[in-house]
Amino acid sequence: MLVEIGHFGLVLALLVALVQGTLPLVGASVRSRQLMDLARSAALLQFGLVALAFAIFMHAHIVSDFSVRNVFENSNTAKPMLYKVTGVWGSHEGSMMLWVLMLTLFGALVAALGRLLPATLRARTLAIQGLLGFGTLAFIIGTSNPFDRLFPVPADGRDLTPLLQDPGLAFYPPFLYFGYVGFSITYSFAIAALIEGRIGAVWARWMRPWALTAWCGLTIGIAMGSWWAYYVLGWGGWWYWDPVENASFMPWLLGTALLHSAAVCEKRDSLQRWTILLAILTFGMSLIGTFLVRSGVLTSVHSFAVDPTRGVFILVLIALVIGGGLLMYALRAAGLNAGQSFAPVSREGALVLNNFVLCAGMATVFLGTFYPLFAEVWSGVKLSVGPQYFDKTFVPILTPGIFAMVIGPVLAWRRGRLTAALWRLAPAAIGAALVPAVVFAFDREAPPAALAGLALAVWAMLGVLADLADRGGAGKQPLGAVWRRIRHLPRGTWGYSIAHFGVGVLIAGIVVSSAWRSERIETVRSGDTIEIVGRTLHFVGVTEQDVANYHAQRAQIVVERPGSAAMTLYPERRWYPVARSQTTNTAIATNGLGDLYLALGDSDGRGGWVLRAYYNPLVPWIWFGAVLAALGGLVSLSDRRLRVRARMTRTSAIAAPAGSVEPG
Partner 1 sequence: MIRRLLLAAALLVVGAAAHAVEPSERLADPALEARARTLSQQLRCLVCQNQSIDESNADLAHDLRTLLRKRLAAGDTDKQALDYIVARYGVFVLLDPPFEPTTYMLWLGPPLLVLGVGALLAIRARGRSDRDQPPLTEEERARAAALLSEHG
Which residues, numbered 538-597, are part of the site for partner 1 (CB under 8 A)?
575, 579-584
Among 88, 224, 397, 637, binds partner 1 (CB under 8 A): 397
Mark 194-233 with x for binding to partner 1 (rule: CB under 8 A) and - for no binding: -------------------------------x---x---x
Residue 296, class by beta-carbon neighbours within 10 Å (0-12 exposed, 13-18 middle, 19+ buried)?
A: middle
Q: Which stretch binds partner 1 (CB under 8 A): 24-32, 241-249, 472-480, 504-512?
A: 241-249
Residue 275, class by beta-carbon neighbours within 10 Å (0-12 exposed, 13-18 middle, 19+ buried)?
A: buried
Q: Note whether 159 and 75 are within 8 A (CB).
A: yes
- Using rule CB under 8 A, residue 337 touches partner 1: no
Mark 487-526 with x for binding to partner 1 (rule: CB under 8 A) and - for no binding: ----------------------------------xxx---
According to CB under 8 A, which residues from 628 to 657 bind partner 1? 657
Among 11, 33, 602, 645, binds partner 1 (CB under 8 A): 602
DSSP string spanning 299-350? T-GGGGGGSHHHHHHHHHHHIIIIIHHHHHHHHHGGGS--B----SSSHHHH
| Measured distance CA(210)–CA(260) in Å, rounded | 13
Among 161, 399, 518, 556, binds partner 1 (CB under 8 A): 161
- Using rule CB under 8 A, residue 118 touches partner 1: no
Given phi > 0 = left and psi -120 to 50 = alpha, else beta, which region is 307?
beta
Cβ neighbors of 270 (< 8 A, separation 6 or more) are 264, 339, 340, 341, 342, 348
- Using rule CB under 8 A, residue 395 touches partner 1: no
Amino acid in the structure at residue 48:
G
Among 375, 422, 578, 634, binds partner 1 (CB under 8 A): 375
Among 76, 256, 346, 549, binds partner 1 (CB under 8 A): 346
Q: Give Cα separations from 467 to 343, 361, 406, 460, 663 (angstroms).
A: 21, 26, 8, 11, 12
- Using rule CB under 8 A, residue 349 touches partner 1: yes
Closest C-alpha among 543, 522, 529, 528 to residue 613: 522
Please, which residue, 29 or 161, has the CB nearer to partner 1?
161
Nearest distance from C-beta of residue 113 to partner 1, angstroms: 30
Which letter does DSSP use for residue 618 in this model? Answer: T
Q: Which stretch binds partner 1 (CB under 8 A): 234-242, 257-265, 403-411, 479-487?
A: 234-242
Whether cis (ω within 30° of 0) applies to the bond prior to 152 is yes
Please, which residue, 164 or 533, has the CB nearer to partner 1?
164
Give helix 167-196 / helix 119-143 axis angle, nearest 10°: 130
Mark 70-89 with x for binding to partner 1 (rule: CB under 8 A) and - for no binding: --------------------
- Using rule CB under 8 A, residue 294 touches partner 1: yes
Among 55, 343, 418, 439, binds partner 1 (CB under 8 A): 343
**Strand runs (DSSP E) across 4-46, as ranges?**
none
Nearest distance from C-beta of residue 31 to partner 1, angstroms: 37
Nearest distance from C-beta of residue 381 to partner 1, angstroms: 5
Local structure of 551: helix, strand or coil: strand
- Using rule CB under 8 A, residue 356 touches partner 1: yes
Q: Which stretch binds partner 1 (CB under 8 A): 135-143, 407-415, 430-438, 530-538?
A: 407-415
- Which alpha helices (DSSP H) does 68-154 contain, by range? 69-74, 81-86, 92-113, 119-143
Closest C-alpha among 251, 58, 250, 95 to residue 169: 95
Among 202, 659, 661, 662, binds partner 1 (CB under 8 A): 659
| Measured distance CA(430)–CA(450) in Å, rounded | 18
Q: Which stretch binds partner 1 (CB under 8 A): 18-26, 197-205, 339-347, 639-647?
A: 339-347
Give helix 243-268 / helix 347-379 axis angle, nearest 10°: 150
Nearest distance from C-beta of residue 272 to partner 1, angstroms: 16
Cβ count near 521 (within 10 Å): 13
- Using rule CB under 8 A, residue 293 touches partner 1: yes
According to CB under 8 A, which residues from 469 to 488 bind partner 1? none
According to CB under 8 A, which residues from 11 to 70 bind partner 1? none
Q: Which helix (H) or strand (E) holds 41?
A: helix 33-62
Q: Which stretch binds partner 1 (CB under 8 A): 32-40, 104-112, 179-187, 235-243?
A: 235-243
Among 173, 408, 472, 617, binds partner 1 (CB under 8 A): 173
Please, which residue, 176 or 628, has the CB nearer to partner 1?
176
Q: Which stretch binds partner 1 (CB under 8 A): 121-129, 134-142, 355-363, 507-515?
A: 355-363
HSE of 651 in the Cβ direction (CA atoms, 13 Å)? Answer: 1
Among 115, 382, 476, 487, binds partner 1 (CB under 8 A): 382
Which letter does DSSP use for residue 518 in this model? Answer: E
Among 558, 578, 610, 661, binds partner 1 (CB under 8 A): 610
| Measured distance CA(61)–CA(87) in Å, rounded | 8
Nearest distance from C-beta of residue 171 to partner 1, angstroms: 13
Q: Which stretch binds partner 1 (CB under 8 A): 131-139, 147-155, 346-354, 479-487?
A: 346-354
Given phi > 0 = left and psi -120 to 50 = alpha, else beta, which region is 261?
alpha
| Measured distance CA(188)–CA(130) in Å, rounded | 9
Instruction: Please tell me the count of residues contacting partner 1 according to CB under 8 A.
Output: 73
Q: Which stretch binds partner 1 (CB under 8 A): 27-35, 242-250, 319-327, 422-430?
A: 242-250
Nearest distance from C-beta of residue 587 to partner 1, angstroms: 14
Nearest distance from C-beta of residue 290 to partner 1, angstroms: 9
According to CB under 8 A, which residues from 244 to 273 bind partner 1? 244-245
Among 30, 152, 384, 653, binds partner 1 (CB under 8 A): 384
| Measured distance CA(13)–CA(385) in Å, rounded | 42
Please, which residue, 114 or 408, has the CB nearer to partner 1?
408
DSSP string spanning 225-244? HHHHHHHHSSS-------HH
Nearest distance from C-beta of residue 359 to partner 1, angstroms: 8
Nearest distance from C-beta of residue 445 to partner 1, angstroms: 13
